[in-house]
Amino acid sequence: MAGPGSEPGELSDSELLLLLEPGDQALQPGDSGKPNSSSDLPLESLKKVLTEDSAAGKVKRKRAQTPLEKYYLKYLCVTDLSTQSWCEQQMVYGRELPQLQAPETVVLLNTGKSIHLARELEVHDVVRVHVTSREDSWAIKILNLLSVIPELQAGGCVRELPVFGVIEDVFLMGVIDELCYSAMGELELRELKTRGRPFMPSGAQKKRDYFQVCLYKYIFDAMVQGKLKPDVITSHIQLRPEQPLGSQIREHAQKVGFTVTCFGDLLELMYLNLTLSDIPGIDCLKIEYSHQESNTLLGTEVVRFEEEKVREKAQHYLAYWKGQREVQGVEIEEAWKCQSCSYSEICDWRKKRAEGPEQRSGPKKSK
């Protein structure tokens, strides 16, 4: 698999890697090509708008930013949504104040990443590729996807498979740990979760993990059904199909059997390969929990996929990102989560909950 050469040490967790790519996920102010605030307008136009609006008695307040805009996000990772399902407020603090995360949590995450990298290296090499544009960064993700399609078609097993899709008009991406065919010929998704403690997780933790794998299936199935058209990617991520690809990207593409010159070529190839490959949707979802220290398997969960429920949950969480509702913390029956939370000392939601229910806003029940 190819990875941007500029980010050593972060190849073990593809979703994290994507989050950290400079200038990739971050939408810089004014990057949209459209004026997004009054300051983008020429002075004369601005005066005219203000005069006309004032004259009509309808000077409008500037619209509040949505969280997607506030954090300059063009897309979300599947893990953003699954983390959100544990505690939305905690997910927001994690984004804003990562330095407050407990050191043991950081160690646990880093060990988990190393285990993922070791598993990835078992099935393919990691190649460093120099990127020269945002389109190059996305070309790597697409090449990683394209390179595993023949293996899947041939009935093989693939690891670290990138998936992209749109739910509720929000672009999502994720990385599936493993896809394999079972003895029955079903396409099976296997998600590996490593744990610091030598026992299976609580029901609440499992619920979060179930949601994650269900989202992967939702997105993957849409991809192989041809719903991920090239313009869906370029319009959501604001990429230029005509952008020439860097020389190292073109060389790498050539090595894996594709002759491409611009980003749009790769998008077309991806669309055609996905839709013409006859790869089925995912039949079975499994989560394997193993103990980090001893590397022993603690247990395997088989997850039932209920499309309507997955969509409803995603809608609820995405409503926060789209600014349709305020951030929520955990409900009283899940207040035990606060005891092990790195942000319990500073958490506004927790403080308001202690003050009484009338202090809080938003729906009574979180999903």
Please give the residue ranges that form the binding site for ligand SF4 (CB under 6 A).
87, 89-90, 93, 329-330, 337-338, 341, 343-344, 347, 349-350
Give me the residues paired with residue 77 across strands: 173
Q: In angstroms, give the least distance from the CB of 113 to ligand SF4.
A: 23
CB 317 within 8 A of CB 367: yes
Q: Which two tokens stand for residue 272?
A: 């055609």
Residue number, 4 or 94, with CB nearest to ligand SF4: 94
Helices (H), the chain: 14-20, 43-55, 67-70, 78-86, 88-96, 103-123, 134-153, 203-224, 230-237, 247-255, 263-276, 307-321, 336-339, 348-355
Residue number, 90 or 147, with CB nearest to ligand SF4: 90
Q: In angstroms, give the least distance from the CB of 68 to ligand SF4.
A: 20
Residue number, 12 or 83, with CB nearest to ligand SF4: 83
Tell me 261's DSSP state. S
Q: In angstroms, give the least distance from the CB of 348 to ligand SF4.
A: 8
d(CA 61, CA 68): 20
Q: In angstroms, give the least distance from the CB of 352 to ligand SF4.
A: 10
Q: In angstroms, give the least distance from the CB of 64 to ligand SF4.
A: 22
d(CA 238, CA 318): 20
β-strand pairing of 284-291 with 297-303: antiparallel
Q: In angstroms, give the least distance from the CB of 207 to ligand SF4.
A: 15
Q: In angstroms, give the least distance from the CB of 93 to ligand SF4.
A: 6
Q: Considering only CA atoms, which of 197, 218, 223, 208 is closest in space to residue 287?
A: 208
What's the Rg (C-alpha) of the chain?
22
Residue number, 83 or 144, with CB nearest to ligand SF4: 83
How many residues make up the chain in this entry?
367
Residue number, 317 or 349, with CB nearest to ligand SF4: 349
CB 274 within 8 A of CB 178: no
Residue number, 185 or 362, with CB nearest to ligand SF4: 362
Residue number, 218 or 343, with CB nearest to ligand SF4: 343
Q: Which residue is nearest to ligand SF4 (CB)?
A: 329
Residue number, 321 or 343, with CB nearest to ligand SF4: 343
Q: In angstroms, give the least distance from the CB of 366 to ligand SF4.
A: 10
Q: In angstroms, give the least distance from the CB of 241 to ligand SF4.
A: 41
Torsions phi, psi for 29 (to 5 deg): -55, 130
HSE, side-chain direction, 13 A CA sphere, residue 150: 6
In angstroms, the Cα distances linking 84 to 53, 126, 179, 334, 359 are: 40, 31, 25, 14, 22
Residue number, 4 or 329, with CB nearest to ligand SF4: 329
Relative orientation angle of helices 88-96 and 78-86, to the nearest 10 degrees: 120
Which residues, at least 6 apart from 187, have a Cβ–Cβ distance to it below 8 Å?
152, 179, 180, 181, 279, 280, 281, 282, 283, 284
